[in-house]
Amino acid sequence: MNDIISQMGETVFAVVFVLGALLFAVLTAWVRSSEAKEQLKKNPVKKCPFCAETVKLEAKVCKHCGRDLEPVNSQPAMEQVIQEVQAPAKDSTLEEYERWKKSKGLQ
C-alpha cells in the first residue's frame, strides 16, 4: 500500500516536472523570438550569399569577403529576411507556421 502511494507521488512529481520544463521551454522560445525581432528591427541584417556571414541589410559590399551585394531597402524584403532568420516559435499559430513553411518552399 505504501508502495502505491509513493509511486503516485513520483508520478505527480514527474508530471509537474515535465510541465514545468515545457513551460520554461515555451517561455524561453518566446522571449528569444521577440528579442531577435527587436534586434532585427534595430539593426536589420542579411546573410551574404558568397561567404554566408551576416552583413547589414543595406550593405552594398560584404565586409567579410568584399564581394558586391544587392542592397535591400524595401520593407517586404526585410520581412522576408525576418522570416528566414526566424523560424516560428512553438507557441505561434498554425497559420503563421503554414505561411513560414510556404515561404521556405516546404510545401
Point out which residues bind Zn ion (CB under 5 A).
48, 50-51, 62, 64-65
- Please give the C-alpha separations between residue 20 and each of 3, 25, 94, in angstroms, as whole numbers: 25, 9, 23
Nearer to Zn ion by C-beta: 46 or 78? Answer: 46
CB 32 within 8 A of CB 21: no
Nearer to Zn ion by C-beta: 53 or 98? Answer: 53
The nearest distance, CB 67 to Zn ion, in angstroms, is 6
The nearest distance, CB 58 to Zn ion, in angstroms, is 15
Distance of CA 84 to the CA centre of its chain: 9
Nearer to Zn ion by C-beta: 62 or 78? Answer: 62
Maximum distance among all alpha carbons in the chain? Answer: 75
The nearest distance, CB 91 to Zn ion, in angstroms, is 34
Number of residues that make up the chain: 107
